[in-house]
Structure 1
Amino acid sequence: MKPKNESLARRMFELLEPICLVTFFAEECNEELAALGHPTYWDGYFASRAAPLGRVPAQVVHAAFYNFAEGEAARHIPSAWEKIPPEASVAARERGSAASLRRILGDDLADSPGLTRAADLTTKAATSQSTAGRMMYAGMRTRTVPSDPIARLWHSATMLREHRGDGHIAALVGAGIGGTEAHVISALAMGIYPAESFGRIHHLPKKRLAAVMAGLRERGLIDTDGRFTDAGRETQQRIEALTDELAAPPYDALSPTELAELIAELEPITATLVAAGSQ
């Protein structure tokens, strides 16, 4: 019998997220993108993650990514693609991420039948959904699924990550939470205080951050000290619950037996990645 959809979606997020995080935390992806000619981490990040969308303008990337401050996407798009084709950037991201996984997992686990089975089942779930209303997921679905099991596992986990992310953005929009506001709420939920010290927003101009905090106070989501009010915490929990609910449908493509098998095969993979910090 399958777990309740929301709890299942949360469990699968916990199992798959460390696979995706090698892209951002491990060195191989950065090295591949730098070798192409991307001068900074963020040039490579924006170019390779946005590449499945095609050569869209910065405004579209800003809308699709949602949680970056105004103007951040425009510092990298479209200039990141002027000398390096999007296709080359996304291919480098895949190569580097797969290389990171192989190094961290070691040959015994990387070449195991269990990893291949996990890749196959993750792909079955990841390719089962409509792309309607899910921009980043739709972009990933245009990419060819790799034949190599490690690359396939990373690719399909990333498809599911973008599927979940699209749903999370829908939940944020429905709650009237902007991108920078979402970082404040995430920081407080993680116990980071003051929220303005969070790494994703601490670099923003103080005047801009102060305006964001003031807006959250006016709506009764944070108090005068910059901490959650009851309404703020309830809003954060409601957004996360809806995100889980919207992320659950891909796993309906798996039978209860397949789902149990996928979880069992992913557990040692995830444990190894978590122990290494996905880097």
Structure 2
Amino acid sequence: MVSVDQPASPDPALAGRAHRAVEPLHNHVYFVSETEEHLTAAGLRPGRMVYFAGRAAPMGAVGPGVVTATFSNFSPAVVARHVPRAWTLAAPEQVVAARAAAARASLTRLLGGEQAAAAPEVAELGDLLADACSVLTAEGRPLYAGHADLPWPEDPVTRLWHAATLLREWRGDAHVAVLVRHGLSGMEALQTHVATGRAFLEPVAQTLRGWTDDEWAAGWSRLAERGLVTGRALTEAGQRLRAELEAETDALSTAPWQHLGPERTARATALGKQLSGTIVAAGAYPAGVFAGR
């Protein structure tokens, strides 16, 4: 019997570190002015509609139920105020194109301009992440699947953003499945994340996700009944649960890094930290939104 060597499965914690290094290259787009500028120019209304339609557009003209399910921690009532109305103002393909243009413009600005965006590290990381994406599959990952159906951009900056987006949504779909397995609603998951002190500030989380005061208070009460929080702080049980959620998500997200192997994963992580650090220092995220930032 001939044995075939398989690449060693990476430590799930390494997958988590790679994810954290790269994610700002994707998620800064939710906070920069270029996104609203480009998507409102395409016909959308400013504010939450830009976010919902921009992120959902790769799935097509989906209804509010699909957006609520895949985004997970938003108030269904708030989603329904903007979807499907968004598709009467701009077709999904227009929104996809506008969002990609916004991502290119914002990354170029935050990296330091066209010359900095043309640095070899940008193309190198884009190539590494594109290779990592080559082994991703769509089973059970609907938000990723919509994005994966889009053509790969040729421009290195947009290609980097697209690859970071695919990896983020692929991992995010897995994270939602983990939350469901542990019996957490989207709002309760958001609240436990807030309670770690490493997420949105609480008033920002409630406002951005659209929960009423009564809904928000009821969520905290349910978490307290489960012994996961005391007030707004995680109990030991809550801390264990958050650690399990992240560890299980990491374990479901190792495939792209296993494909790259240890050396190229380390290189991608280092480049991700470098470029993410640059855009964060350049003001990718507004003050007063995240705890500790």
TM-score norm. by structure 1 comes to 0.92
Tell me the equivalent position of 2:128. Answer: 121
Looking at structure 1, the residues matched to 242 and 249 of structure 2 have their Cα atoms a distance apart, in angstroms, of 11
Deviation >4 Å, runs of 4+: 1-4
Tell me the equivalent position of 1:140. Answer: 147
Tell me the equivalent position of 1:98. Answer: 104
For the pair 1:176 / 2:179, whether they are aligned, the reply is: no
Looking at structure 1, the residues matched to 9 and 245 of structure 2 have their Cα atoms a distance apart, in angstroms, of 20
Instruction: Decide whether aligned partners of structure 1 residues 222 and 198 sit closer, same or farther in structure 2, where only a CA change above 3 A counts.
Output: same
Please give the root-mean-square deviation of Cα atoms over the aligned residues, in Å: 2.1
For the pair 1:198 / 2:203, whether they are aligned, the reply is: yes
Looking at structure 2, the residues matched to 163 and 152 of structure 1 have their Cα atoms a distance apart, in angstroms, of 16
Specify the SS of the correspondent of 2:238.
helix
For the pair 1:8 / 2:24, whether they are aligned, the reply is: no
Provide the identity percentage.
37
Q: Is the 8 A contact 1:127 1:141 kept in 2?
A: no
Looking at structure 2, the residues matched to 273 and 173 of structure 1 have their Cα atoms a distance apart, in angstroms, of 33
**Alignment partner of 2:258 out of 244, 252, 256:** 252
Q: CA deviation at 1:192?
A: 7.7
Looking at structure 1, the residues matched to 19 and 67 of structure 2 have their Cα atoms a distance apart, in angstroms, of 24
Looking at structure 1, the residues matched to 110 and 61 of structure 2 have their Cα atoms a distance apart, in angstroms, of 33
TM-score norm. by structure 2 comes to 0.88
For the pair 1:241 / 2:244, whether they are aligned, the reply is: no
* Residue ranges of structure 2 left out of the alignment (5+ in a row): 1-6, 286-293
For 2:22, give the aligned amino acid: L
Q: CA deviation at 1:265?
A: 3.2
Q: Is the 8 A contact 1:171 1:242 kept in 2?
A: yes
**Alignment partner of 1:61 out of 52, 58, 67:** 67
Specify the SS of the correspondent of 1:71.
helix
Q: Deviations over 1:39-88 (max 9, x none)?
A: 22211111111011112211111111111122221111110011210110
Instruction: Decide whether aligned partners of structure 1 residues 244 and 104 sit closer, same or farther in structure 2, where only a CA change above 3 A counts.
Output: same
For 1:109, give the aligned amino acid: A
Looking at structure 2, the residues matched to 127 and 23 of structure 1 have their Cα atoms a distance apart, in angstroms, of 23
Looking at structure 2, the residues matched to 198 and 269 of structure 1 have their Cα atoms a distance apart, in angstroms, of 29
Looking at structure 2, the residues matched to 192 and 86 of structure 1 have their Cα atoms a distance apart, in angstroms, of 30
Q: Deviations over 1:6-45 (max 9, x none)?
A: 2211221221111112311211111101111212221111
Q: Deviations over 1:191-245 (max 9, x none)?
A: 689x8x331214532221221112111111112x332221111111110111111
Q: Is the 8 A contact 2:74 2:211 kept in 1?
A: no
Looking at structure 1, the residues matched to 213 and 264 of structure 2 have their Cα atoms a distance apart, in angstroms, of 50
Q: Is the 8 A contact 2:44 2:86 kept in 1?
A: yes
Count of equivalent residues: 276
For the pair 1:78 / 2:87, whether they are aligned, the reply is: no
Specify the SS of the correspondent of 1:254.
helix
